Structures are given as C-alpha cells and as structure tokens.
Amino acid sequence: MTQEAVISKTVGALYLVLVSTRPKQWLKNGFLFAALLFSKNMFHPAKVATSVFAFAVFCLASGAVYLLNDLVDMEQDRSHPKKQARPIASGALDPQVARLALAVVLPAALFAGYFINRQFFLIASAYLIIQIAYCTFLKEVIILDVFAIASGFFLRVAAGSVAIDVPMSKWLLICTTFLSLFLALAKRRHELLLLGDGAAHHRKVLDGYNVLFLDQMVSIATAGAIVSYALYTLSEETIAKFGTTQLWVTVPIVLYGIFRYLYRVYKQGDGGQPEDIVWKDKPLLMCVAVYVVAIVLIIYMRPGALR
C-alpha cells in the first residue's frame, strides 16, 4: 500500500470516528452554559472561557459515550431503520478502530476535566459512570433507563455551575430534572412508535413500555418542568439575586417552546433526537433565540445590573 493510500485510509477512519461521536448531538452540551447565563457572568471573559472549555470537555465525554454505545449496540443497530447507517453498524468503521478511539477519547475527557477543578472532574466522572452503566445494562431496566438518559442533562447543568464556581437555584435544577425527563420520555415514545412490533426485538426494555404509559409520564414531566420554572421566576431568592420581578414574563415563552416540542412529538412523530428538532423546526429555534434575548435584557440590561 502506498503512502498516499495509507494517509487516505487514516483520514477516512478518523472522519468515521468523528461521525460516530455524533457532533450534531453536542448541542446537548449547551446546557453547561445555563449557569453562565443565569449567574450574570455572560460578559465575564474568564468565566466565558472556562465555560467554553467545560463545553469542549463534555463534547469529548459524550463523544466517548456515543462510541461505546455504538459498539455495544452494533448488532441491534443493524436491524434499526435509521441506526443501521451508523459507521460501526454499517461496517464502514472497523470496531477495533472504534475501540482504540474510545481508549483515547475517554481518558482525554477526564484528563482535561481535571484541569478545570475537582468538583467538575467528579461530575464529569459521574456522568461517564452513569452513561457507561446505561450503555452496558441500565438501558434494559424500565424507568431507570429514562432516568439515566435524563441525568446527562442535569449533570451538564451542574457541571457548568461548578466550572465557574457559581451556585444554581434549586428550583432551576428541579426544572432541569423535569425537562430532562420530558426529553428522555419523548425519545422512548418515538422509538416505540418507530419500531412498532419489532421494538422489543431491537431493545428489550421497550417491551415494558406502551404509548399510554409513556404519555402519562410525559404529562407529569411537562407539568413539573413548567411549574418549577414558574416558581423559579417568582421565588424571593431569584428576585433578590437579579433585583427584578420581571423574569416571570419569560414563562409564556417557555410554555410555547414546550408546547411546540409536544406538537412535534405528537403531531409530527418526532422526539428521537432533541437536537434535530431544535435545528430543523424554525419556530422552536426562534423561540429559543427569543428566550435567550429576553433573559439577557431582563438580567443584564436593566440599570445597575452588572454592578
């Protein structure tokens, strides 16, 4: 084999490894920036830099998890209508190469996380332990599988908070928990409907769910997310922290965003990948942008806000 052929093969393998780490899903790591936004540090250069670094660490960590997941689910993915196109399942990427990449990326994430601070390192470690447990056995344990998926979002918010050493409101963390469960349950519902009668064959745990049960849990998680966010905006702690009572005006924006997501889940049959829905649904993407602008105006732009 010529040198050019070796280089071409190596570049091709690296590209397939990158695809297997699912860069599109790194959008989920944006939850790390919640602490930066709500701690009034969005214009603090050092904290912004730390948050970006923390985001990069979680991109490495989540990429390692996706590699492991595709290796563990290789055989099942080959019978899945969408997942069969993934590099490992399709045979385009040699599993040995994927294992080697995993052996590099996972320690790299932990090593990088250690340089932020000890608490961040512990949370990143907890994220990896839970996700590895999910990939290997928790994904087959009814209800706990959903909590394992949801924990990834919660831990991202917590990691963003300890990375820049700022406290997060308990109400906001509770809201994140409910929102995470909402997204995870919608994902399970989408899988159940997509795979139909073959759902249990692809993933045994799906045999323990049905659409009615999942719909009831989605309703509970939706209500919990909305109520806890509303209570966060009205709490004395929040009002004292930001020096304003106006944060409640963002509640209708959050309501629209959740209702729009529910529309995509129940009317359009989506829900499998939250990041795809956000990127492809213009009204929902606009809702996120309006929400961020509203938060910035309320928290940062009032007189004396940054003192």
> Using one digit for the tens of pLDDT, what is the confidence trace for 212-269?
888 999 999 999 999 999 999 999 888 888 888 899 999 999 999 999 998 988 887 7
Q: Is residue 1 part of a domain?
A: no
Q: Range of 126's domain? A: 12-168
**What does the pLDDT read at residue 138?**
86
Which residue, 149, 128, 274, 126, is CA-closest to 205?
149
Do 209 and 192 contact (CB within 8 A), yes or no? yes
What CATH number corresponds to the domain at position 152?
1.10.357.140
Q: Same structural domain for residues 67 and 212?
A: no
Q: Same structural domain for residues 186 and 129?
A: no
Q: Same structural domain for residues 127 and 186?
A: no
Q: Same structural domain for residues 97 and 176?
A: no
Which residue, 273, 82, 271, is CA-closest to 190?
271
Q: Is residue 72 part of a domain?
A: yes
Do 183 and 153 contact (CB within 8 A), yes or no? yes
Which residue, 161, 189, 162, is CA-closest to 274?
189
Looking up tokens 């071409």 gives 8
**What does the pLDDT read at residue 195?**
67
Q: Same structural domain for residues 109 and 178?
A: no
**What does the pLDDT read at residue 178?**
92
Q: Same structural domain for residues 135 and 55?
A: yes
**What does the pLDDT read at residue 164?**
92
**Tally of structural domains, the chain:** 2
Distance CA 10, CA 242 (A): 52
Tokens of 289: 């942008």
Q: Is residue 4 part of a domain?
A: no
Q: Is residue 6 part of a domain?
A: no
Distance CA 138, CA 151 (A): 12
**What does the pLDDT read at residue 202?**
62
Hey, how many other C-beta atoms are within 10 angstroms of the C-beta on 31? 22
Among residues 139, 168, 197, the one where a domain terminates is 168
Report helix, strand or coil for 8. Answer: helix
Looking up tokens 């994927």 gives 98
**What does the pLDDT read at residue 16?**
87
Q: Same structural domain for residues 80 and 192?
A: no
Do 289 and 305 contact (CB within 8 A), yes or no? no
**What does the pLDDT read at residue 223?**
94
**What does the pLDDT read at residue 85?**
81
Do 211 and 189 contact (CB within 8 A), yes or no? yes
Do 148 and 188 contact (CB within 8 A), yes or no? no
Q: Same structural domain for residues 244 and 270?
A: yes
Q: Is residue 236 part of a domain?
A: yes
**What does the pLDDT read at residue 303?**
57
Which residue, 186, 177, 178, 153, is CA-closest to 262?
186
**What does the pLDDT read at residue 197?**
61
Q: Same structural domain for residues 135 and 225?
A: no
Q: Same structural domain for residues 186 and 84?
A: no
Per-residue pLDDT tens digits of the chain, which is 307 residues long: 676 665 667 777 888 888 888 888 888 898 899 889 888 888 889 999 999 999 999 999 999 999 998 888 888 777 777 777 888 888 888 889 889 999 999 999 999 999 999 999 999 999 999 999 998 888 888 889 889 988 888 899 999 999 999 888 888 888 888 998 998 888 888 887 776 666 556 667 777 788 888 899 999 999 999 999 999 999 988 888 888 889 999 999 999 999 999 898 888 776 667 777 878 888 889 999 999 999 999 988 765 554 5
Q: Is residue 185 part of a domain?
A: yes
263-283 pLDDT tens trace: 988 887 766 677 778 788 888
